[in-house]
Structure 1
C-alpha cells in the first residue's frame, strides 16, 4: 500500500457503508491523516433481506467501496463471518433462550471491532483506529478519557462501555463533537459521497427483517417452546409462544388484555413462565453485574456516580460497589423500571463515561 502525504500519520477507519463512518473517513482526511478504510464482512450477505431501516450486508460493502473510491483511499474487506457467528450471533441466541434481553452491538464492539479490527489496524501499520460512533475522546494528564457525544439524541456511549483503557488510547471518534446528524451529512455532501443521504440503519444487522424468533428457530431448532403467562399473585392468565417474545417492562403484545394494565415483571426461563403484574412491581433498586469494565481512577471499591440501565434512559444517581472478581453491585437512589438481565448498566459522572457491566439480576 503506497503511503499518502499526511501530517498526522496513518489511521484505519471502520467503514460500514453508512454516512457516519463515511463522513468519519472524509473528516480525518481533512485533518491531515492518511486514511485506510476497512469493512468487515460479518454475516451471510446473500441470506440478508434488504429492507428500509436495516443494515443490509452486501449493499453496505458496495457503498463503503464506492466511498473509498470517491475519497481516493485504500479499502479492504475482511471476512469475519465465522468470528461474528461465534462471538456475537451464537451468544445472542443463547441469551434470548435464557430469558435475557441481549445487546449484540455491544458484543460486536467488544470482540470483532475492538479486538480483531485492532489487530488488523496494527497489521496495516496504523497509528490509530477510528469509528463513526457519537462519543468523545479527550486526552488528560491521567490518560485518555471517554465522554458522551455532544448531541444527547445520538450519544452512543452506552454501547461502548467495554472499551478498555489501552483500546481508548488507540481509538479516535471524530463525530462525537457534532451538534446534529445534519453536520455529519454536510461533511458527506461536501465530499460528494454517494451515501450522503442514505438512511440510518436501525435494526440489528443480522436480523434485517426484524424477526428475532425466526432467526432463533433457525439457529436453535425446537428450542422455542410455549409456556404460561402468570400473574404475580399466581393466577395463570394465558399462554405464550416462547419467552423470546418478551422483555422486562413490556406492556404491549401480552395477549392477556382486560382489566388494569399489566407488565412483564420477570421471565423464568427454566419453567418457561412469563410473570406479569402492575407497574409498581417493576421498580428495582439493587442490580448485580458481571464482567465489569472500570475506566475511572482508583477511588476505592465504593463510589458515587450515575448509571444508565437502558440505552434510551437518562443516567440516574447510584452507588457502585466493585468486587474483586469482576462483579459489582449497584444501589440506585431511586428505583428504576425495566431493568433486564442481558442489558448493560453503564457508569457515568457528568459527561464522563466510567465503564459498565452486564446486568445479571435485579431486586
Structure 2
C-alpha cells in the first residue's frame, strides 16, 4: 500500500472511532482526525470534544474541529421537528449521514488533501455498494442507505469486519485507553436527551388533546396530542368499551386525530416510497426490504416509477409501518438502495 495515502477520520471521543484511528495508522495510512460539532445539546461538546482531542493525542494525529451546528439545524434538526409535526416518524440519522458525516465531512477531506474518509461505523463497502457489518448486533447499514453513491470509493470502515466485543478488548488492552473500553454506549439519536416529545415541546405544541377514531371514523376516545404517538403504539390514549389492546393505525396531523384498531389491522402488504437513493440501475426486481431499524428483512417486489418513487409489494405482511421512515433494500448482505416511506 502507498504509505502516502491520507485518510481523514471522524472522531467522536468514543471507543469505536478511537480504535478505528489506531487501526488505520497501524495499516500505514497518514491520518488526521475531525471532530464535528453537530447539534447544540447543552454540555455535549464540552465533554466529547475533549475526549476526541485526548484520543487524537493518544493516537498521535492532528484533530480538526468543524462547527456544523447551523447546517445540522437546517438539514437534520428542523426536518426532525417538521416530520413529527406532519404526523410522521422521522429518521434523523440517515439525513445526518448523507448531509453531514458523509457530505460536509467529505468536502472538508477534499480541502485538506485527504484521499479517503473513515468513521467508526459498523458497515462494509467495496466502493460500489455498502454491505452489512460482520457484527449484526451493531450493523449500521440501514442508516447509511441515503449516502450518495459517488463518494463510496472514498470511504473506509475499519470496523466492518470486527465485533464490538473485540473492539472493547483492544481498547482495554492498551495502556491509556482502558477508560474508552468502559464508556457508555451512545444513544440512538444523539441530540435527544430523554424522550423526543420532551424535546419537541420546546418548539411545537405537543400537548393538544384530540379525538381517537376507529376505522369507520367514529369517535371512540381521547388522546393527549397526536405527536405523542407513532404507528403501532398501544398506550397513552383511551378507547371506550375496549376489551382488548388497540394500536395506532394512522395519524391525521391537520385534524389532531389518531385512528386506532386491533393488531391485525396494522398489517401491511404495499408501501409507496419517495426520494429514492439507489446503488444500481434496476427498475423492476425482487429483493428484501427492512422497513424499520432492527427488524428482519422481508421478501418483496420493487417497481421503480418516475420522479424517484417506487411501489414495494411485500411477500408477507408487516406490522406497524410508519410514513417518514426508511425502506432499505438488501440482496443478501448487500445494500442496493432505499427510499422514504410516503404511503402505507
Aligned partners of 1:58, 1:285: CA distance in 2, in Å?
47
1:105-127: per-residue Cα shift (whole Å, max 9, x none)? 11110111111111011111101
Q: CA deviation at 1:15?
A: 0.9
Aligned partners of 2:187, 2:257: CA distance in 1, in Å?
30
Q: Which runs of 5+ in 1 are unaligned?
A: 1-5, 49-55
After TM superposition, the structure 1 = structure 2 runs for residues 310-321 of structure 1, keeping only pairs within 5 Å, are 310-321=292-303
Aligned partners of 1:253, 1:187: CA distance in 2, in Å?
44
Q: CA RMSD in A?
A: 1.7
1:249-271: per-residue Cα shift (whole Å, max 9, x none)? 11233344851111111111111
Tell me the equivalent position of 1:205. 190
The correspondence for 2:59, drawn from 52, 65, 71, is 71
Q: CA deviation at 1:164?
A: 2.1
The correspondence for 1:98, drawn from 83, 86, 89, is 86
With normalisation by structure 1, the TM-score equals 0.89
Residues 207, 160 of structure 1: alpha-carbon distance in 2 compared, 3 angstrom cutoff = same
Q: CA deviation at 1:323?
A: 1.5
Tell me the equivalent position of 1:271. 255
Tell me the equivalent position of 2:16. 20
Aligned partners of 2:233, 2:304: CA distance in 1, in Å?
30
The correspondence for 1:10, drawn from 6, 29, 48, is 6
Aligned partners of 2:116, 2:146: CA distance in 1, in Å?
18
Query: Is the contact between residue 206 and residue 228 of structure 2 (CA under 8 Å) also seen in structure 1?
Result: no
1:186-208: per-residue Cα shift (whole Å, max 9, x none)? 23234432422111112422122
The correspondence for 2:26, drawn from 24, 27, 30, is 30
Aligned partners of 2:4, 2:237: CA distance in 1, in Å?
55
SS at match of 2:7: strand
Aligned partners of 2:287, 2:82: CA distance in 1, in Å?
32
The correspondence for 1:127, drawn from 112, 115, 123, is 115
The reply on whether 1:289 has 2:273 as its aligned counterpart is yes
Query: Is the contact between residue 26 and residue 188 of structure 1 (CA under 8 Å) also seen in structure 2?
Result: no
The correspondence for 1:182, drawn from 141, 159, 165, is 165
Q: CA deviation at 1:237?
A: 3.0
After TM superposition, the structure 1 = structure 2 runs for residues 318-333 of structure 1, keeping only pairs within 5 Å, are 318-333=300-315
Query: Is the contact between residue 27 and residue 187 of structure 1 (CA under 8 Å) also seen in structure 2?
Result: no
Residues 202, 256 of structure 1: alpha-carbon distance in 2 compared, 3 angstrom cutoff = farther
SS at match of 1:239: strand
Aligned partners of 1:134, 1:62: CA distance in 2, in Å?
24
Tell me the equivalent position of 1:342. 324
Q: CA deviation at 1:279?
A: 0.5
Tell me the equivalent position of 1:52. none
Aligned partners of 2:247, 2:73: CA distance in 1, in Å?
33
Q: Where has structure 1 moved over 4 Å in runs of 4 or more?
A: 255-258
User: Higher relative CO (CA 8 A, sep ≥ 6), structure 1 or 2?
Assistant: 1
Query: Is the contact between residue 130 and residue 335 of structure 2 (CA under 8 Å) also seen in structure 1?
Result: yes
Query: Is the contact between residue 283 and residue 336 of structure 1 (CA under 8 Å) also seen in structure 2?
Result: yes
Aligned partners of 1:254, 1:347: CA distance in 2, in Å?
34
Q: Which runs of 5+ in 2 are unaligned?
A: none
Aligned partners of 1:152, 1:196: CA distance in 2, in Å?
20
Aligned partners of 1:281, 1:84: CA distance in 2, in Å?
37
Tell me the equivalent position of 1:3. none
Residues 77, 337 of structure 1: alpha-carbon distance in 2 compared, 3 angstrom cutoff = same
Aligned partners of 2:189, 2:335: CA distance in 1, in Å?
24
Aligned partners of 1:343, 1:85: CA distance in 2, in Å?
19
After TM superposition, the structure 1 = structure 2 runs for residues 159-308 of structure 1, keeping only pairs within 5 Å, are 159-178=143-162, 180-191=163-174, 192-193=176-177, 194-210=179-195, 212-220=196-204, 222=205, 225-256=208-239, 258-296=242-280, 298-299=281-282, 301-308=283-290
The reply on whether 1:147 has 2:135 as its aligned counterpart is no
Q: Aligned residue pairs: how many?
A: 340
Tell me the equivalent position of 2:125. 137
